[in-house]
Structure 1
Amino acid sequence: MFFLILLLIVIAQRLIELRIAKRNEQWMLTSGAKEYGQSHYQLMVLMHIGFFLSLIVEYLIRKPALNSYWQALLFIFIIVQIGRIWVIVTLGKYWNTKIIVLSGTYVVKKGPFKYVKHPNYIIVTIELFVIPMIFNLYITAILFLILNQIILRVRIPIEEKALRENTNYNEKFD
């Protein structure tokens, strides 16, 4: 039952985030922003859908017990969710799941961005590992940790190039 509850919470959260991202995307594009990295975005979406499917399939096939450290892992998950909200609130109308950059704007260098360049990618990486580990779903944890790193190796350079070309990114982060 705990698996189902956590799964539904995370799926609901993702759906709410997609709604926020769509609203922000529409605002940015009507304000003259440009989208970058469209070619890998579909793969990223498929990876995230695959993550949920893999969680469900591995759980149903293996029927594992909770990890002996599930409470610590759940605590990490909750902290990461606070971090996720912090990122979304900090970026406000600029937060998105896509790489959309409004030329001439200033990059955000407050909130979690004071400490790291890509806090949301760190958060997603932790989630993709911690959520399955709560339930001892090792295959999903390792597979999607690797797949996410592959996607990020493509995505981060595209995002940084778009920011360098259109904002004051070089002044703030180099």
Structure 2
Amino acid sequence: MTPYTVLVLLVIAERFAELCVARRNGAWSRARGGLEHGAGHYPAMVALHTALLLGCLVEPWVADRPFVPLLGWPALVLVLAAQGLRWWCISSLGPRWNTRVLIVPGLPLITRGPYRYLRHPNYVAVAVEGVALPLVHTAWMTALGFSLLNAALLTVRIRCEDEALTCARPVAARGTAPGTAP
């Protein structure tokens, strides 16, 4: 087993850990009246992220891609940085983080951690990882394909998330006086 295969398998294990956190957080949100938005695009996200990981394993083997140190080592640094950003997002959102768009009505937006600087930092981590992980072992077709499809999917996902968050925020936080229509 190559070191790159081990790296991809570690990322797969991390995804399963995220799903466990998401399941626990989903129960927390639903117990507090959380509603899911955009469930229709979730299967496409799962399929795309699964294809990324499979592409990372298959393309270097099938296309006989070499490890190119000048590309691979910086890409690995970016992969690790993306994981750090992802877990910073998860810890900053606490029980409100999820792989689905689950919104508990009335809760204010999180403005700590990376959310102090960016509106959607987790998607920055996803985009960086989607380019960098395949490029660790010069799987450029996987990096390109994922990036293009992810950009299209994120336009749907971010719009869905923004709309859900806007509708769920307390009326006063939306700039509307209490008792008036938002």
TM-score range, shorter chain: over 0.9
Inter-partner Cα distance in structure 2 for 1:78 and 1:130:
9
Which residue matches 1:161?
163
Inter-partner Cα distance in structure 1 for 2:55 and 2:10:
17
Inter-partner Cα distance in structure 2 for 1:170 and 1:61:
52
| 1:100 alignment partner, SS class | strand
Inter-partner Cα distance in structure 2 for 1:58 and 1:70:
15
1:85 equivalent among 87, 93, 104: 87
Q: Aligned Cα RMSD in Å?
A: 1.2
| 2:111 alignment partner, SS class | coil
Inter-partner Cα distance in structure 2 for 1:170 and 1:112:
22
State how 1:13-162 maps to structure 2 within 5 Å.
13-67=14-68, 68-162=70-164
Instruction: Give the counterpart letter for 1:53 in structure 2.
Output: L
Deviation at 1:122, TM superposition (A): 0.6
Structure 2 stretches lacking a partner, 5+ long = 176-182
Deviation at 1:16, TM superposition (A): 0.3
TM-score w.r.t. length of structure 1: 0.94
Q: Identity over the aligned pairs, expressed in percent?
A: 33
TM-score w.r.t. length of structure 2: 0.90
Q: Does 1:11 align with 2:5?
A: no
Deviation at 1:104, TM superposition (A): 0.5
Inter-partner Cα distance in structure 2 for 1:80 and 1:49:
17
Inter-partner Cα distance in structure 1 for 2:124 and 2:174:
21
Deviation at 1:170, TM superposition (A): 4.6
Structure 1 stretches lacking a partner, 5+ long = none
Instruction: Give the counterpart letter for 1:83 in structure 2.
Output: L
Instruction: Give the counterpart letter for 1:57 in structure 2.
Output: V
| 2:53 alignment partner, SS class | helix
Give the total of aligned pairs: 171
Structure 1 segments, 4+ long, off by >6 Å, are: none
Deviations 1:134-157 (A, max 9, x none): 110010000000010011011111
Structure 2 vs 1, CA of residues 125 and 50 (structure 1 numbering), >3 Å: closer, same or farther? Answer: same
| 2:65 alignment partner, SS class | coil
| 2:108 alignment partner, SS class | coil
Deviation at 1:63, TM superposition (A): 2.1
